[in-house]
Amino acid sequence: MDYTIDIPEMGEPRLLTPGPLTTATATKQAMLKDWGSWDGDFRQMTARMRKNLLALIGDREGAFDCVPMQGSGTFVVEAMLGSLLPRTSKTLVLANGAYGQRIARTLTYLGRDHVTIDKGDYLPPRADEVSAALAADSAITHVVVVHCETSSGILNPIEEIAQAVHAAGRKLLIDSMSAFGAIDLDCNAIPYEAIVSSANKCIEGVPGFGFVIARKAALEAAAGNAHSLSLDLHDQWQVMNETGQWRFTPPTHVVAAFLAALDLHEREGGVAARGARYAANRDVLVAGMRRLGFETLLDARWLSPIIVTFFNPADTRFAFPRFYDLMKDKGFIIYPGKLTVVDSFRIGCIGNLDAALMQQVVTAAAEALRKMGVDSARPPEKALRERAILAA
């Protein structure tokens, strides 16, 4: 295991956000060169990247392939949905936050029939309710779930959901955008049709493309499904396999950075080691913030090692914009909340960060509270009561 936390350039803040995130110096340096998009060197880079990504799911039988696609994560989610869901399909969307809702919205745009189970912000979808929904509606062909719902930080129980979908003979698509690379998605243990993630999350690259890892049979069957030329996953896959090239201008520098990031991921010890570092980051953060009076939105057992949502303190002297600025003065960029009901903010645990750094984040938060005259960061009783009721 070999992974170092780099000292940022003078004045460059650390991003405690779930992508773009703080990248390693080697990842940034990999971008200081130009590549021809059709040149053999770049085609080899694309091939190596696809192979290394596939290795992360443990596909021993060669049943899967990896298809990179230009754009931010949402573009690639849309490519996956539009390409892998036949026009006659009906999809069950499991939502518990903004990204699940975005999937349902995308299906509306695509004109694909769907129903949604919406669990609000605090709770995960569970196997029994998925089984019941599938048993009640034989028209449902596919299920889509978000692995780590980044809007709250909840880690959904992907294994039990995958087993329930598999047992019902339906197909599962996973938005593992913010989990892939840090949380295991072994295709031998978890049955799924496809997963999607992007360059700037747990592999710690820079933004610019995403990738779908799908069963080859699903990619074959996707011919003619897509609503869009640029987002046609089947076409991208075919052309890439035939020519080694992306169909349209690839984000060459981003791919180079991503390869450097993948090397660092491997040197660190792969998925398990990366997940362990993020979990340690979260544990130091949550313990420290609790000592200041902060409380997490989620019950401890659903907290992901990716990002943590904290309630805003009840103290009226607390104002998030000022808290944000004071944290930034200390070199930390935090993240506003993205919840539907309560006031909250988020702190990411992913990127080129370690537990020592998270301790500094806690110290910076303590100092920021002191400057605002907030003695305790305890949230409003109403927020705690609501959390207790919903978690019961």
Any contact of residue 193 with ligand PLP (CB under 6 A)?
A: no
> Which one among 106, 198, 309, 352 touches ligand PLP, defined by CB under 6 A?
198
Distances (CA, A) of 110 to 35, 42, 105, 236, 321: 35, 33, 9, 19, 37
CB of 351 to ligand PLP, least distance (A): 13
CA distance linking residue 182 with residue 390, whole number of Å: 28
The two tokens of residue 377 are: 């960061």
User: Is 178 one of the binding residues for ligand PLP (CB under 6 A)?
Assistant: yes
CA distance 148 to 176: 7
Residue 15: φ, ψ to 5°: -90, 115
Q: Which window, 33-41, 174-182, 272-280, 354-362, contacts ligand PLP (CB under 6 A)?
A: 174-182
Residue 175 lies near ligand PLP (rule: CB under 6 A): yes
Range 44-73, binding ligand PLP (CB under 6 A): 72-73
The 10 Å CB-count burial string (b at 16+, else e) for 311-323 is bbbbbeebeeeeb
Site residues for ligand PLP, 3-42, by CB under 6 A, read 18-19
Closer residue to ligand PLP (CB): 157 or 293: 157
In the bound complex, what is the minimum distance in angstroms from residue 107's beta carbon to ligand PLP?
A: 14
d(CA 162, CA 94): 12
Q: x-or-dash pattern for ligand PLP, window 327-356, by CB under 6 A?
A: ------------------------------
**Shortest Å, Cβ 102 to ligand PLP:** 7
Shortest distance (Å) from residue 177 CB to ligand PLP = 3
Which of the stretches 137-145, 170-178, 237-245, 357-365 binds ligand PLP when contact is defined by CB under 6 A?
Answer: 170-178
Distances 258 to 19, 52, 150, 240, 331 between C-alpha atoms, Å: 13, 11, 21, 18, 25
CA distance 149 to 83: 23
Output the smallest distance, CB 87 to ligand PLP, in A: 23
Among residue numbers 293 through 312, which ones bind ligand PLP (CB under 6 A)?
A: none
Residue closer to ligand PLP by CB (options 45, 154) is 154
State the Cα angle at 88 between 84 and 90, rounded to 5°: 75
Q: How far is the CB of 178 from ligand PLP (least distance, A)?
A: 4
- For ligand PLP, the binding residues in 97-126 under the rule CB under 6 A are 99
- What is the DSSP code (8-state) at residue 50? H
Residue 92 or 95 having the CB closest to ligand PLP: 95
Contact map string, positions 142 to 161, toward ligand PLP, x by CB under 6 A = ----x---x-----------
Q: Which of 25, 37, 52, 74 binds ligand PLP (CB under 6 A)?
A: 74
Name the minimum Å distance from CB 261 to ligand PLP: 16
- Smallest distance from the beta carbon of 106 to ligand PLP, in angstroms? 10
Q: How many helices (H) and strands (E) does the chain have?
A: 13, 14
Whether the CB-CB separation of 358 and 283 falls below 8 Å is answered with: no
C-alpha closest to that of 378 among 287, 312, 286: 312
CB contact burial 60-82 (16+ within 10 A = b; e otherwise)? eeeebbbbbbbbbbbbbbbbbbb
Q: In 3-state terms, what secondary structure has residue 88?
A: coil
Q: Which residues here bind ligand PLP, judged by CB under 6 A?
A: 18-19, 72-74, 77, 99, 146, 150, 175, 177-178, 198
